[in-house]
């Protein structure tokens, strides 16, 4: 049985989970909603980071490596009815360098975004810190670049299929919308990006592995709390303290 180690909120880990679901692959969940101790993480990976995947005798870490493995090692499952199929590979023949560049740039976007998030929970707002502020500014340049790389409002980065790049970009955008970070990817001149996110949100894999709201105090300890976290975004829904009081 495959085993995936991950933290609940990680957009990188969520992209891996979604690809596992898209491929129809069962996996055991080793999940935490906050970062475990260094000692606990070191037993899994020397990077002290997750996601990490155990598949038989193979142990992999780093989401890009895991996504490459899953996309390459397992056949494509049937597409959801009326929806585009998952791409057959991680990168396309003849387009390797472009596809790899998009994936590397997505990694930069994810790290930039999670840095802002981690600093905020340490008490450092990005508006008050030069490094975090640069991360927030970098994100806007990256979103404009991704908008230019997307094919159109009916396709993502690759025509006719859903790619690993599409999935990771959508997961990072949804991470931004489920954290009170004062960040946003939305802009009137990014219609292709908005269309991609809307289409990804309709896929069964995205709904099964839903993006959950998080702020200090949230533990997902009850089914009711998880359901609230599925519906809460930066645009709608009560804050956690207000939700708890209302209950």
Beta-bridge mates of residue 60: 53
C-alpha gyration radius of the chain: 18
**Residue 190 CA from chain centroid, whole number:** 19
Residues 92 and 107: their CA atoms lie apart, in Å, by 19
Least Cα distance to 4 among 59, 48, 46 occurs for 59
Full-model pTM: 0.94
- At 32 the pLDDT is 79
- At 48 the pLDDT is 62
DSSP class of 75 = P
Report the run of H or E that residue 145 belongs to, with start and end.
Answer: helix 130-149
The per-residue pLDDT string of the chain (247 residues; one tens digit each, 9 = 90 and over) reads 799 999 889 999 999 999 999 999 999 998 876 666 667 766 777 766 779 999 999 999 999 999 999 999 999 888 899 999 999 999 999 999 999 999 999 999 999 999 999 999 999 999 999 999 999 999 999 999 999 999 999 999 999 999 999 999 999 999 999 999 999 999 999 999 999 999 999 999 999 999 999 988 898 889 999 999 999 999 998 888 888 888 7
- At 241 the pLDDT is 83
- At 95 the pLDDT is 93
Calculate ∠ Cα 156-228-163, nearest 5°. 15
Structural domains in the chain? 3-73 (3.40.30.10)
* 9, 214 Cβ separation under 8 angstroms: yes
Phi, psi values for residue 45, rounded to 5°: -150, 140
């Amino acid at each position: 049985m495959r085993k995936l180690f991950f933290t609940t909120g990680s957009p990188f880990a969520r992209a891996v989970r979604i690809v596992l679901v898209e491929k129809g692959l069962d996996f055991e969940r080793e999940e935490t909603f906050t970062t475990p101790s260094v000692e606990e993480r070191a037993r899994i990976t020397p990077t002290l980071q997750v996601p990490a995947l155990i598949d038989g005798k193979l142990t992999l870490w780093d989401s890009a490596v895991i996504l490459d493995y899953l996309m390459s090692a397992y056949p494509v499952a049937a597409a959801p009815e009326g929806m585009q199929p998952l791409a057959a590979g991680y990168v396309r023949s003849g387009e390797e360098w472009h596809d790899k560049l998009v994936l590397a740039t997505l990694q930069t976007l994810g790290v930039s975004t999670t840095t802002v998030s981690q600093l905020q929970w340490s008490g450092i707002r990005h508006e008050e810190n030069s490094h975090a502020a640069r991360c927030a500014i970098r994100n806007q340049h990256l979103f404009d670049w991704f908008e230019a790389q997307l094919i159109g409002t009916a396709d993502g980065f690759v025509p006719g299929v859903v790619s690993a790049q599409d999935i990771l970009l959508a997961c990072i955008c949804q991470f931004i919308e489920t954290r009170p970070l004062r960040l946003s990817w939305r802009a009137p001149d990014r219609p292709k990006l908005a269309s991609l996110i809307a289409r990804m949100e309709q896929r069964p894999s995205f709904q099964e592995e839903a993006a959950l709201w998080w702020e200090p105090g949230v533990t997902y300890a009850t089914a009711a709390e998880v359901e609230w976290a599925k519906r809460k975004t930066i645009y709608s829904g009560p804050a956690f303290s207000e939700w708890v009081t209302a209950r």
